[in-house]
Structure 1
Amino acid sequence: MRTSFAAASLFVLAAAAPASATVAAPNAAPQGPTAWADASRGGIRGLTIGPIESLRHAGKGYGSPASGRAMDEAKALGSTWVSLTPFGRVWDLQPNGIDLTFEAPFAENRANVLHAMAQAHARGLKVFLVPHLWVETGGWRALIDPGDDAAWERWAAAYKRFLLTWAEVAAEGGAEMLSVGVELRSFVTTGRAALFYPIIQEVRRVYPGLLTYSANWDDAEDTLIFGELDLVGINAFYPLADKDGAGREALLAGGRKVAEGIERLTAMWGRPVVLTEIGYTTRKDPAIRPWEWPDGMKDVTIDEEAQALAYEALLAPLLDSRSCAGFFVWRYYADPDDVSQEAAWGFSPRGKLAELVLRDAFTARWAADGPAILGDNLGRHRARTPGFFGWELSPPLF
């Protein structure tokens, strides 16, 4: 009998088109909404490990000894995958090219990302490579609009060069999964998607692993390219309630609604879903507008318990879903000791109560893991102390 994550959680608080891909990847997931679980691949227990986004922090980014410590912590937490997020720069929302340099020269960044992949693999962690676009003047990448047809063709060519560059890195480093884009709404939910299909085919020629795309949560059902990919990917910053002060039961109801939407998507595309980003900031009511960026917040009330409860409410129903292959937590950093990357009310669950929920979730048995082995859950421990990764026995459940 599979242990219920909701029951085992520390926080008992008053707590479109058919598939059409023609170039099959050697690692391609079997098709079907529950194919991941059917193949017993093991649920994706993922952490996003972000780069150190400043040259003032030399020696602390991807591939550094600090990055190795981050991988050690991911492993101790119970992760089986890590997500790495290199960036390319565009100037504004009408770009005509992509600069591969981000904080460090591209050749240096490329080598560092490859080293970080090797660090992950040395620890038995699988790697998900997720190339992002950074808009230098501000604005959301989802709203990129180069202009007329000719401008869009130039943009598609530039994006293809950018993506193929990182696909080659993913192939060289043996990354197990690659995202072909992140929140590119104007590109992949409109008629412009016709320009994206040939890009995916080119990626298939240089990269043999699993492909997904990281759709924003509110346009995943409108994304047109999932039939060309192996998994439906969602940056899953879904609101779990519609008003502040929502209690545990209301948030759990919101989590069940999210799970139902995921089931619809898997049925629509005949592929499992992976949540390419999930996360909550450490503040009051983080599940109401979870996409809000911490840098712009003022007069914040830090609330670790609210962050932890939001994670529990989202994850509890998903761990019972055979259609959800897993998720990636947004986010930890390449130097786990560098607290300069975000405010205390930021997304990172490291050393907070939410870390305990994640450790419980990572050590639970998931429907996505496939058929259970007799005795698989016997002696399962429960996380009790943030930052302490030793064995802590659970009290009897009965």
Structure 2
Amino acid sequence: MKVPAAPRLLPGAEAWADARLGGIRGITLGPIESLRHAGRGYGTEASARALDETTALGASWVSLTPFGRVADLAGTGVDLVFEAPFEDNRRAVLGATAQAHARGLKVLIVPHLWVENGEWRAKIDPGDDEGWARWASSYRRFLLTWAEVAAEGGAEMLSVGVELRSWVTTPRAESFRDIITDVRKVYPGLLTYSANWDDVEHTVIFDDLDLIGINAFYPLAEREGASLDDLLAGGRRVAGQVEQVAQAWGKPVVLTEIGYTTRRDPALRPWEWPDGMKDVVVDQRAQAEAYLGIIAPFLDARFCAGFFVWRYYADPDDVSQEAEWGFSPRGKLAELVLRDAFTARWAADGAWISGDGAGRHRAWTPGVLGWELPMEGWERPMGGF
């Protein structure tokens, strides 16, 4: 499938809504690219089931996240091989993209970096000018390779990077701008960059892109035991900060990742990785209320094109990918909040057309679609819908 040229967005933070492209109701499908999990990753029958669930949830977009391997923060280069040979992963991503398109979903491809020693990619520092030049050359090869895959598969959007703070918030960003120029030559679709929530205001490359991307793991609370009202107030505060970024650049924002773990007080430090947690109290309601807190204010925000949930997996039945208290909302109360949000009318959808909302459903049981009575002990999420 040949990717169509990117839709022309006029200047302005509300350009996405003005173009009536539809709010981005997105799900991230994490890869399962290990040879030990044959038949479970992108492009398999398992991912077809995951995409069926994605459409049933009401999503309109899916994010696919192929990885490249980086040894450590010295930034000596990016290895295209990750868990399986690159050619296998390339075919898998193309297969998953085709599966998504067959279901009417649009696709964001997010080439991601996995740092082998467990450090955060935002701190990569090759040192001197020569080291940075080597790093930029290697990253260019990595990104252009996946840009060509995105173009071949017809993906509608591409993220040119994820949380590369040490590069794109500094004078070194000029070398990154050169890479974006090269990407435009091989990929005609929409471009974004996935900035971390706490450095997006210092990221200097957004004038070269179509949308401002944010991995939006903003804290919504300042203390343990925060109430739903506290979380909603935190969400409104976050939305105000994001609007300032959108207005400053004159471009719409897409939240390239939002997510909360299934534990007590997940909105206090949302970025904490579940693998390192101990003595966790599993709390589905806390996860659901955190989702409600972050989503609610953005549904009325014309400057926000939408968001991608972090995350579901390419094999919906493989529970080995994370602990019970992990990020996935699948089959949990948070899934009800997402389903209700996805079937609501958003400001990002553009001007209202009479009858546009006819036949919308509300669901109360994870995995069950349709009109249902509320489950006992759970108030209707996002009751304003």
Sort the TM-score into its range (normalised by shorter chain). Answer: over 0.9
1:378 CA drift (Å) = 4.4
2:28 counterpart (48, 62, 65): 48
More displaced stretch, 139-148 vs 388-397? 388-397
Matched, 1:283 2:263: yes
Query: What is the one-letter code of the residue matched to 1:88?
Result: G
Query: Do the aligned partners of 1:379 and 1:393 also contact (CA within 8 Å) in 2?
Result: no
1:370 pairs with 2:370: no
Give CA-to-partner distance per residue, 1:7-63, whole Å, 9 cap, x none. Answer: xxxxxxxxxxxxxxxxxx643433210010011100000000000143221110000
Quickly say closer, same or farther: Cα 1:379–1:168, change in 2 above 3 A. closer
Distance 2:171 2:49 in 1: 45
In the alignment, the residues of structure 2 paired with residue 57 and residue 108 of structure 1 have an alpha-carbon distance, to the nearest angstrom, of 13
2:191 partner SS: strand
* Structure 1 runs of 4+ with >2 Å offset: 25-31, 375-381, 389-398
1:317 positional shift: 0.5
Q: Establish whether residue 67 from structure 1 lines up as the match of residue 54 from structure 2.
A: no
380-389 or 263-272: bigger deviation = 380-389
Aligned pairs (5 A) from 1:330-349? 330-349=310-329
* Cα deviations by residue, 1:188-242 (Å, 9 ceiling, x for unpaired): 0001101111100000000000000000000000000000000000000000011
Residues 282-332 of structure 1 deviation map (CA, whole Å, 9 limit, x = unaligned): 000000000000000000000000000000011110000000000000000
Q: Which runs of 5+ in 1 are unaligned?
A: 1-24
Contact 1:37 / 1:322 at 8 angstroms: preserved in 2?
yes
| Cα distance, 1:248 vs structure 2 | 0.9
What amino acid does structure 1 have at the position aligned with 2:260? Y
Matches of 1:304 and 1:393, distance apart in 2:
20
Q: Is the 8 A contact 1:275 1:328 kept in 2?
A: yes
- 1:97 counterpart residue number: 77
Q: What is the SS of the residue equivalent to 1:359?
A: helix
Q: How far apart are the structure 1 equivalents of 2:103 and 2:67?
A: 25
- In 2, Cα distance between equivalents of 1:166 and 1:270: 28
Between 1:32-41 and 1:381-390, the stretch displaced more is 381-390
Percent of aligned pairs sharing the same letter: 72
Shift of 1:373: 1.5
Q: CA deviation at 1:381?
A: 2.3
- Hey, what does 2:333 align to over in structure 1? 353
Count of aligned residue pairs for this structure pair: 374
Structure 2 residue runs without a partner (length 5+): 375-379
Q: Is the 8 Å Cα contact of residues 28 and 209 (structure 1) preserved in structure 2?
A: no
| Selected match of 2:155 from 172, 175, 193 | 175
Q: Would the alpha carbon gap of residues 205 and 305 (structure 1) be closer, same or farther in structure 2, given more than 3 Å must change?
A: same
Q: SS of the residue aligned with 1:88?
A: strand
Partner of 1:5: none
- The residue that corresponds to 1:295 in the other structure is 275
* From 94, 98, 108, the counterpart of 1:128: 108
In 1: Cα distance, 2:334 partner to 2:103 partner: 24
Q: Is the 8 A contact 2:6 2:156 kept in 1?
A: no
CA distance in 1, matches of 2:230, 2:384: 25
Matched, 1:116 2:96: yes
Distance apart, 1:397 and its partner CA: 9.0
- Segment of structure 1 superposing worse, 206-215 or 379-388: 379-388
Give the Cα separation in 1 of the matches to 2:24 and 2:384: 26
Offset at residue 370 of structure 1 (A): 0.4
- Secondary structure at the residue paired with 1:191? coil
Distance in 2, matches of 1:29 and 1:389, equals 35
Give 2:212's aligned residue: 232
Say if 2:254 is the partner of 1:254.
Answer: no
1:193-272 residue pairs with structure 2 within 5 A?
A: 193-272=173-252
Q: TM-score, normalised by structure 2?
A: 0.95
Residue 131 of structure 1: CA displacement? Answer: 0.2
- How far apart, CA to CA, are the structure 2 residues paired with 1:28 and 1:163? 23
Instruction: State the alpha-carbon separation in 2 of the partners of residues 349 and 145 from structure 1.
Output: 35
Residues 312-371 of structure 1, C-alpha deviations (whole Å, 9 max, x = no match): 011110000000000000000000000000000000000000000000000000000001
Decide whether aligned partners of structure 1 residues 378 and 112 sit closer, same or farther in structure 2, where only a CA change above 3 A counts: closer
2:167 is the counterpart of 1:187 = yes
1:29–1:231 contact (8 Å) kept in structure 2: no
Amino acid of the residue matched to residue 166 of structure 1? W
- How many angstroms apart in 1 are the aligned matches of 2:7 and 2:86? 28
What's 1:36 paired with? 16
Q: Partners in 1 of 2:163 and 2:57 — Cα distance?
A: 28
Tell me how far apart the structure 1 counterparts of residues 321 and 101 of structure 2 sit (CA, whole Å).
25
Contact 1:217–1:238 (CA under 8 A) maintained in structure 2: yes
Distance 1:397 1:194 in 2: 45
**For 1:148-170, what per-residue CA distance to the aligned partner results, in whole angstroms no more than 9, with x for missing partners?**
01110111111101000000000
CA contact (8 A) 1:77 1:359 kept: yes
Distance apart, 1:389 and its partner CA: 2.4
User: Distance between the aligned counterparts of 1:103 and 1:33, measured in 2?
Assistant: 39
3-state SS of the aligned residue for 1:190? coil
| Aligned match of 1:20 | none
User: How many angstroms apart in 2 are the aligned matches of 1:368 and 1:134?
Assistant: 33
Give TM-score scaled by structure 1 length. 0.92
Partner amino acid for 2:182? E
1:314 aligned partner = 294
Q: Is the 8 A contact 2:362 2:369 kept in 1?
A: no
User: Is residue 279–residue 290 contact of structure 1 (8 Å, CA) maintained in 2?
Assistant: yes
Aligned equivalent of 1:323, options 280, 290, 303: 303
